Structure 1
Amino acid sequence: MKKYAQILADMEHKIASGHYRAGQRVPSVREAAQQYGVSPGTIVKAYAELETRHAIYSIPQSGYYVVDQAGGEKRGGEHGAIDFSSSSPDAGLFPHQDFQHCLNKAFEIYGRQLFNYGDLAVTDILRRTLASHLADSQVFAKAERIMLTAGIQHALGILTLMPFPNGKTEILVEQPSYNLYLRFLEAERLPVSWIMRTSGGIDLDELEAKFRSGRIKFFYTMSRFHNPLGTTLSGKEREAVAKLAGKYDVYVVEDDYMADLGEVKGFEPIFAHDRTSHVIYLKSFSKIIFPGLRLGAAVLPEPLIDTFRHYSRFAETSVLSQAVLDVYIKNGMYARHRRGMYKQYAARNQRLHEALRKQDPEHWIEAPSASSGLYTHFRLPRTVNLERLVRRLAERKVAVTSGKPYYLSDCRDRDKFLRISVSRADPNRIEEGIRAIVEEIGHCGR
């Protein structure tokens, strides 16, 4: 068993057995790394998985704590918290019966192949299915270029640590950006630079200057439904990023993790504009089916394939998960479920923005209009004490997420904002939650 899997199993056992109790702080990343004799990056990866499984949660500048499992189901109830913080999709919207059907069907179709470690026949079948599936998102690639991974975090870890043909080492990230990836980069002490991203997008002149420097290995970006901003790069920006990548021999890692939860008509990812094989497209299936499925796909330029395989050869994905996903896509359940999820989250986004217009007539909060995806952000007046605001809202049982963890530690040019998620927000209590946020902004300065 890999060290990462051993750590995960040990931590889950300690939580289940009561060694770590609900609300108790677990060892810090550095403490755990010393305890298990591994790198901090391995602990960051394990803790990220425990967060996905709702076993622990993080508090910025404080640490990781054990989730109160007994009270977890009360969160959306009448007297529970109004949850604007969760990054996991609403479990009540998952297709449990459909998934069970696909599981049974997978056993019928593949039989004993599902018990073989790393069965290449199943993998090849799914890759061909995904080649057709991804074409609906304007991602046209041969099956041989599609690598299966245990989610996007797994793919990012491989791409970050493996060498690239351009011989460069520095990774360029947006600020703000995906918090768990930023913590991984810091834990591994890798060379990192950044470019600011706002509701208006990114400065293309600055991006070109960064690319021209000759140091950038790859640029990590979320082209649509950005986490934490919730915004999408314009068509002009997406096309320009692809052209600049080819011009300066810089790779682009396009994280399209939220592709299935938004309107896809007319959207062309950066990958669709790539003419020089410099764009890597990442796709997750955790947000649309089950986080526990742990399956993702990386569409790679051909020069990267062998190196990627070499660095990922000891972390194969579950054959059973591959078979179930293949059946789920082929029988049309995936497309049907995606439409249902999109409608649910679009309705919640609409309620959120209607509530904001009604409850914030003074316009203290700046929020981009978002009709799709899980996230948006509330940009706050500079005079607001962000920590106090989050604390006071928690006392009122309104869970929100500070924007601070979505920046690198040494980035000082930070916007003051809350990341707002509609993922697990009770639609009937969204306005109540927005009213509380506006009221507490008044108490915390504006």
Structure 2
Amino acid sequence: MKKYMSILSDIERKISAGRYRPGQKLPSVRKAAQDYECSGSTIIRAYAELEKRHAIYSVAQSGFYVVGHSAAARTSGDSTTIDFTSASPDIDLFPYLDFQHCLNKAIDTYRAQLFTYGDPLGMEKLRQTLVSHLAGNQVFAKMAHIAVTSGVQQALEILAKMPFPNGKMAILVEQPSYDIYLRFLAAEGIPVQGIARTAEGIDLSELEERFKSGGIKFFYTMSRNHNPLGTTLSTEQRKAIAKLAEKYDVYVVEDDYMADLGDERGYHPIHAYDSASRVVYLKSFSKVVFPGLRLGVAVLPSELLERFRVYKNYSDTSLLSQAALEVYIKNGMYERHKQTLYDRYSERIRTLLEAVRRHAETGLVRVPDVTSGMFAQLQLPQQVNLERLTERLSARNILVLPGKAFYLADYLAREKFLRISISRVPLAQIDTGVRLIVEEAARAYGR
């Protein structure tokens, strides 16, 4: 990240944390240059960018001041309710002004292309930009293998419906797994099998047996920051999955929807270990920008490309949104906003884990060691009635989501847990929310 962008992000974090209050004067250019150990021109550039974003304003011959934000401008909702259920990004962190700038820039730059029919695989300029963007996630692909979709969900639906070269029919899904996809598969009557995924990951021996004899078309997995567990597969497991896919001619659909919010240094997705072109890599932009953007990307093996194109067969993804995303990535705004989200969510996740350790000393409620993303699994004893617990918490203005929704209807070996999302919970409310959950869980367990 360029120096001025790093400075800009740091100042934004300080404003959000209240270290720079509305109306407060920022350090002078000279003082800031000393503090950040850079040139005055770098500080001027950072301040100019902050002013463009309406975060600060300048007063002639006086300096730069923080813009005031009224409480009415915030949209987080009823502050008395602690909502641990939402899977959407924090509304108050949406990059409205940044993306508005990118929309305007996109119209100016690509006006000749925005109002015609596009390529079903997506806008060529965006796909070119995605080649280098994906390489940052250790996903190396040519533009011809990249398809832009209306979110990851559209790619998942197409892959479920289209035939694969291995001629197999069943889809193997982790249990628990992405609830919306499980409901889609059930509604479409698509053959589906479940395999247990716990905080420790996947049983590789069982996975091999399924690949060997289960008639598996593809295995759907969230390799990191799993929804709802929040956990990440180990390097050993990711490598093994790629090898098993090659050995038994099974495809892997790797949903790396949280790629930009993971903190694993040197992390390589399953796709990076794929030497036999058996991995489809999926990534979403909704968790970093905003859900309404509805843009995702699929990296496809050669054998699947043409059939995927046929099943997609029309350009249903807004060209304006694609063009704006291309500008957003290319000018560095995406990287900066991604870092902001990572910092906020990581702090909230750490606070959550610390609160569980503090309030659940008896071990009644446990949580895996999750360090990034927005989800965590609060594990409970099998004797706890989740529906009753959820009702009691709701009566105390604590919203939680029972784990039952993340299992296939006929899958019986379910764990008892609550999926906790920290994306919409203010930092100051997390400890209180965890304390009340532990209290009600102890009551439900009879302690």
Q: Is the 8 A contact 2:122 2:315 kept in 1?
A: no
2:196 is matched with which residue? 196
Q: How does 1:378-397 map to 2 (within 5 A)?
A: 378-397=378-397
Aligned-pair CA distance for 1:181: 0.5
1:150 is matched with which residue? 150
1:413-435 Cα distance to aligned partner (Å, 9 max, x none): 10000000001011111111011
* Residue type at the aligned position of 2:134: L
Q: Is the 8 A contact 1:137 1:264 kept in 2?
A: no
Aligned-pair CA distance for 1:290: 1.4
Q: After TM superposition, what 4+ stretches of structure 1 lie above 6 angstroms from structure 2?
A: none
Change (3 A) 1:341 1:74: closer
1:8-43 Cα distance to aligned partner (Å, 9 max, x none): xxxxxxxxxxxxxxxxxxxxxxxxxxxxxxxxxxxx
1:250 is matched with which residue? 250
Q: Secondary structure at the match of 2:445?
A: coil
2:405 is matched with which residue? 405
Gaps in structure 1 of 5+ consecutive residues: 1-72
How far apart, CA to CA, are the structure 2 residues paired with 1:262 and 1:237? 17
What's the TM-score once normalised by structure 1's chain length? 0.82
1:436 is matched with which residue? 436
Aligned-pair CA distance for 1:121: 11
Q: Matched residue pairs, number?
A: 374
How far apart, CA to CA, are the structure 2 residues paired with 1:312 and 1:359? 50
* Residue type at the aligned position of 1:369: D
1:78 is matched with which residue? 79
Change (3 A) 1:119 1:107: farther
Q: How does 1:352-371 map to 2 (within 5 A)?
A: 352-371=352-371
1:337 is matched with which residue? 337
How far apart, CA to CA, are the structure 2 residues paired with 1:231 and 1:157? 24
2:187 is matched with which residue? 187
Q: Is the 8 A contact 1:223 1:256 kept in 2?
A: yes
Kindly name which structure, 1 or 2, has the bigger radius of gyration based on alpha carbons. 2
Q: Secondary structure at the match of 1:186?
A: helix
How far apart, CA to CA, are the structure 2 residues paired with 1:190 and 1:364? 38
* Residue type at the aligned position of 1:310: V
Amino-acid identity (%)? 57
Q: Is the 8 A contact 1:174 1:220 kept in 2?
A: yes
* Residue type at the aligned position of 2:97: Q
Q: Secondary structure at the match of 2:144?
A: helix
Q: Is the 8 A contact 2:170 2:193 kept in 1?
A: yes
The worse-fitting range, judged by mean Cα deviation, of 118-127 and 392-401 is 118-127
What's the TM-score once normalised by structure 2's chain length? 0.82
Q: Secondary structure at the match of 1:430?
A: helix
1:276 is matched with which residue? 276
Q: Is the 8 A contact 1:356 1:434 kept in 2?
A: yes
Is 1:116 equivalent to 2:116 in the alignment? Answer: yes
1:92 is matched with which residue? 92
Is 1:316 equivalent to 2:316 in the alignment? Answer: yes
Q: Secondary structure at the match of 2:123?
A: helix
1:357-397 Cα distance to aligned partner (Å, 9 max, x none): 11111121121011100100011011111110000000101
1:5 is matched with which residue? none
Q: Secondary structure at the match of 1:444?
A: helix
Aligned-pair CA distance for 1:122: 7.3
Q: How does 1:123-142 map to 2 (within 5 A)?
A: 123-142=123-142
Q: Secondary structure at the match of 1:97?
A: helix
Aligned-pair CA distance for 1:74: 7.3
Is 1:212 equivalent to 2:212 in the alignment? Answer: yes
